[in-house]
Amino acid sequence: MLLIFDLDGTLIDTREEILETFSQAFENLGLKLDKEELDKYVGLPLKELLEALLGKYDRRVEEEIRKIYYSERPRKIKIFPGMEEIIRSNGFKKAILTSKRRRAAFYDLEYVGIQQYFHIIIGADDLKRKKPDGEGIRKIMSIVRCEYPERVYMIGDTEMDILAAKNAGVKSVAVTWGFRDEEILRKYEPDYIVHSPKELKELIAQAQR
């Protein structure tokens, strides 16, 4: 069995970190940030996210965000309670597929100390076609030599993860503790919806039988 996890909003809680970083970057450049719109579009790769927020891509804003993100400062990210127990478990292969660039993903994973639990980590810059395309999932399956899509579960908190799973022909598991509420997630018809890491752990145990 192969479990593919999204990162932000699924494994780690980065809501405050993202809001603080974007708010500071926009303020530094004299721009106004719509926080509701930011919450709505989190899950997109950074370039597409900025296009959604600004109406067009602005390299200055991306550079300012990256400068703040990698600066020496107290960080506001943490593992969602209960998720570390799951990823520390044996009996299945684990991977990460994130819309973040690889460097940012490793930066966060190393900060919370869980990067060693994953067989492979794929970022947005590792792919030609990002989520919601199924390329990332198919690439992970190929690398870990998983030939049975019915034994693959894409676990994430946004429509991008559900659609990527559908496009790759694997199972989708939507989690409700991230950036989308259950009502929005249900519109995309995931195979499963879980409301807590405890429910996710139970689902994984059932799938292993």
Give per-residue pLDDT as tens, 147-201. 999 999 999 999 999 999 999 999 999 999 999 999 999 999 999 999 999 999 9
Same domain membership, residue 198 and residue 150: yes
The two structure tokens encoding residue 177: 């503790």
> How do strand 78-79 and strand 12-13 relate by DSSP bridges?
antiparallel
Cα(194)–Cα(71) distance, integer angstroms: 35
According to the model, what pLDDT value does residue 9 have?
A: 95
Same domain membership, residue 85 and residue 53: no
Same domain membership, residue 47 and residue 149: no
In eight-state DSSP terms, residue 131 is: T
Within 8 A by CB and 6+ apart from 172, the residues are 153, 154, 156, 161, 162, 165, 166, 190, 191, 192
Same domain membership, residue 57 and residue 8: no
pLDDT digits (tens, 9 = 90+) for 38-85: 988 888 888 999 999 999 999 999 999 999 999 988 899 999 999 999
Within 8 A by CB and 6+ apart from 207, the residues are 1, 151, 153
Q: How many CA atoms lie within 13 A of 82 on its CB side?
A: 12
Same domain membership, residue 40 and residue 8: no
According to the model, what pLDDT value does residue 44 have?
A: 83
Same domain membership, residue 142 and residue 126: yes
pLDDT digits (tens, 9 = 90+) for 71-123: 988 899 999 999 999 999 888 999 999 999 999 999 999 999 999 999 999 99
Cα dihedral: 98, 5, 115, 2 (round 10): -130
158 contacts 179 by C-beta, under 8 angstroms? yes
How many structural domains is the chain composed of?
2
Task: Decide if pLDDT at 208 tops 90.
Answer: no
State what percent of residues in the chain have pLDDT above 90: 90
Cα(27)–Cα(29) distance, integer angstroms: 5
According to the model, what pLDDT value does residue 204 have?
A: 95
Q: Domain range holding 52?
A: 15-69
Task: Decide if pLDDT at 5 tops 90.
Answer: yes
Same domain membership, residue 6 and residue 23: no
The confidence band for 6, taking pLDDT boundaries of 50, 70 and 90, is: very high
Give CA 187 to chain center in angstroms.
Answer: 19
According to the model, what pLDDT value does residue 137 have?
A: 98
Same domain membership, residue 153 and residue 112: yes
